[in-house]
Structure 1
Amino acid sequence: MVLLEVAPDLSRSRLQSLIRQGMVRIDGQALLKPAARVEIGAAVEIELPEPIPDEALPQDIPIDIVYEDSHVVVVDKAAGMVVHPGAGHHDGTLVNALLHHIGSLSGIGGVVRPGIVHRLDKGTSGLMVVAKNDVAHHGLADQFAKHTAGRRYLALCLGLPSGRSGVIRSNLARHRTARLLLASTEGSGKPACTHWRLIEQHEGLSLVQCRLETGRTHQIRVHLTEAGWPLVGDNIYKRCNKPVPDLLKGIVATDRPLLHAYRLSFEHPQSGQTQSFFAPVPPDYVEALVAGGFSIGAIDEKIKFLPGSKKIGLQG
C-alpha cells in the first residue's frame, strides 16, 4: 500500500514535507522517497511538529532599546533578526522580543505584526520605531505613508559611482522570473526614489549614504545593484561579476548585506516634536571598513558634516 492510505488525514504535500524533514519512519528507518510503498504489517511512525501559534508570543530575546516612552519605542535592530513572524520565521523575531520587554503594542498590525509601522530586512541592522498604542500607530504610519519620516543608511558597495551624489528613481515590481526578488520596471510597479551621496572610496569599494524618499521593499538593494555597485554581502541581488577585493576576503565572509540604518527621525505622534536618533555602526560593519582600508576617523568626520547627519560613533 502507499503511505497516503496509512495517513488519510494528511495531504500529499504535507506528507512529502514531513518525509523531506526526516519525520516519517518505516520500521524505525527514515523514509527517503515519498513514492515508496509500505508493506502490510510495517510499523509506520509519523512525527508531527508542534503547531505554529496563531499570534506572536513573548520571548526573552535581548534587544537594544534606544528610546521608549508611553507611545513609541525605538530599537537598534541587530542584523540577522527578522522583524515579525512569517513564513519560515515563526518566532525569535523583534516582535516576540518586544512583547516580552514591553508587554503590549498597538493592535493595528494584527496579532502577528503588532506595532509595526515600517520594516528592515533581516540582514539590515539599525533603527526602527514601533508603536505602543493605536493612536501612535496611526500617527507614525501616516508619516511613513507620506514619506515625511527621515531614514538614512550607510551602504558599503562593490564598485565606484561615477559622481559624488545623485538620485535613483524607478518603479519597483516583482521580478518576472525570480518572484521573490524586486526589479525596476517600465510603467508598472510602485515608484521608488533613493538619494545617495558618496562618503569615501578605497580599493574598489565605496561607502555611500542613502536617504529614502520612498520606502519600498529591498529598495536600496535593487537601486544600488542596478546602478552597478551592489552591496557587499548581498548574495541575492549581486547579479554582477565584481569579485570581493582580496583585502576583504576572510573578513567579509558575511551572509548579510552591509547596510545599516544609522539615522531615523519622525514627528512624535503625541507631542508633535521632531525626534532624531542615531545608531552606531555595528562591529561586523566596522571590521569590514577597517579590512577595506577605510580611515574610520575620516569617515566619522565626513558623515558628521553630511546634510542631516552627525558623528555616529564608528569608534565607540
Structure 2
Amino acid sequence: MLNFTSESIRLDKYLTKSLLEEYDLSRTFIQKLIDNNNVKVNDEYQTSKYILQDGDVVEIIIPEPEHLDAKPENLDFKIVYEDEYILIVDKPNGMVVHPAPGNLSGTLVNGLLYKIKDLSSINGCYRPGIVHRIDKNTTGLLIVAKTDAAHKKLVKMLSENKVYKEYIALVHGNVEPNSGLIDAPIGRHRTDRKKMSVTEVNSKRAVTKFEVLNRYNKFSLLKCVIETGRTHQIRVHLSYIKHPVLGDNLYSYKEDSKIEYGQYLHSHKLKFFHPITNRKLEFVSDIPEEFNVKISMIENKV
C-alpha cells in the first residue's frame, strides 16, 4: 500500500517510478496490472490515466512470477569447495546463473540441481541456493548456499560488505593513476532497460576500488574490488571513467560486440568468514587462459 502525498501525476507513471527500484517493473507491465484490476485507489479500481491527488491511498497486488521448473542437467563447471552449508563454484564463460523466461536450460542452477542434493529454498524453485550473481560472460567464483540459515546470513554479510570480492578486468586504454576509487551511484538506464548507468535518479550508492596491474599498448589489466554489489557495477563504473571492459557488448565500443569470447572480466578472489562455523575462508580462481592469449595478441599487435 502506498500513500500519495505529492504533486498530481498519472497513476501508471507514479507506480512505475515508485516500484522501479524494488521490482524493476516496466510501465507497460504496470498498465496491465491496472487493466487487470490489480490496483485500487481509495478502495476503487481506476484506469492508468487516473490523476492522483494528495492523500490518495494506492493498493497494488503484484502477481506471483511465472513458475519456472528448472530441470537438472549434467553441465561442465567446477565446484572448488563444499561443506554441508555452502559451496563455491567457479563459473565458466557463457553460462547464465539461473533460469529466466526464454532461457530455462543450460544455466548454473540446472547444473547445481544435477550435482547437489540440497540447496537453500529462499529464492524459490528457479534460483535455489543463489545468494549473488555474476554476469553470463563473467567467469569465476560464486557463493552458493545449501541451507536457508546459511543463505540468510550470507545475504546479510553481502549487504554489510563483509565478503571481499576481487575481480580482474582487461580494459580499453592506459588507466591513470595506478589506483583509484569510483564512488558513483548506479540505477536503471532511463531509456534502455537492459542497461544500468551512473545516475542520481532511482539509484543506490556504488563503490569500486581499482589498481592497475599492468599496461599493454592501448589496454590495461586491472584489479577491481567492489564494496557494493550493484547490477553490472564494475562494467558500468569502468565505462563511466572511459575505460570499458574489453568485449563488453553493453557498455564498451560497438566493435567489442564482435569479440567472440565476450567480456574480459573474472571473479578472481573471495574472502569471508563462514556464515555458520565462522571459519575464515579464502578462494582464488586463476585467470582464464583466454586472458593470457588476448594479452599476448595485444603485446604483439596481432
Does the alignment reach a TM-score above 0.5?
yes
- After superposition, residues 25-174 of structure 1 pair within 5 angstroms as 54-174=68-188
Aligned to 1:209: 223
- Asked if the contact 1:106–1:133 (Cα under 8 Å) also holds between the matched residues in 2, the reply is yes
Aligned partner of 1:293 among 264, 288, 299? 299
- Asked if the contact 2:187–2:201 (Cα under 8 Å) also holds between the matched residues in 1, the reply is no
Structure 1 residue ranges, 4+ long, deviating more than 3 angstroms after superposition:
none
Query: CA offsets per residue over residues 201-230 of structure 1, 9 Å max, x none?
Result: 011010000000001100000000110111
Query: CA offsets per residue over residues 265-309 of structure 1, 9 Å max, x none?
Result: 121112101200000111222211222229xxxxxxxxxxxxxxx
- Asked if the contact 2:68–2:104 (Cα under 8 Å) also holds between the matched residues in 1, the reply is no
Deviation at 1:64, TM superposition (A): 0.4
Deviation at 1:152, TM superposition (A): 0.3
Query: If you compute each CA radius of gyration, which structure gives the higher value, 1 or 2?
Result: 1
Query: CA offsets per residue over residues 191-250 of structure 1, 9 Å max, x none?
Result: 10000001100110100000000011000000001101111101211158xx77xxxxxx
Q: CA RMSD in A?
A: 1.8
Deviation at 1:62, TM superposition (A): 1.8
Give the stretch that moved more between structures: 191-200 or 279-288.
279-288
- After superposition, residues 131-280 of structure 1 pair within 5 angstroms as 131-186=145-200, 188-239=202-253, 253-280=259-286
Distance across 2 between alignment mates of 1:188 and 1:102? 38
TM-score (norm 2): 0.74
Q: Secondary structure at the match of 1:292?
A: helix
Distance across 2 between alignment mates of 1:53 and 1:100? 19
Distance across 1 between alignment mates of 2:160 and 2:275? 14
- Asked if the contact 1:63–1:77 (Cα under 8 Å) also holds between the matched residues in 2, the reply is yes
Paired residues, what number? 234
Deviation at 1:110, TM superposition (A): 0.7
Query: CA offsets per residue over residues 117-166 of structure 1, 9 Å max, x none?
Result: 10000000000010001111111111111111010000000111220000
Distance across 2 between alignment mates of 1:88 and 1:160? 39
- Structure 2, unaligned runs of 5 or more: 1-65
- Structure 1, unaligned runs of 5 or more: 1-51, 245-251, 295-316
- Asked if the contact 2:68–2:99 (Cα under 8 Å) also holds between the matched residues in 1, the reply is no
Closer, same or farther in 2 for the Cα pair 1:186/1:239, shift >3 Å? Answer: farther
- Asked if the contact 2:174–2:217 (Cα under 8 Å) also holds between the matched residues in 1, the reply is no
- Asked if the contact 1:71–1:136 (Cα under 8 Å) also holds between the matched residues in 2, the reply is yes
Distance across 1 between alignment mates of 2:259 and 2:203? 34
Deviation at 1:111, TM superposition (A): 0.6
Q: Secondary structure at the match of 2:206?
A: strand
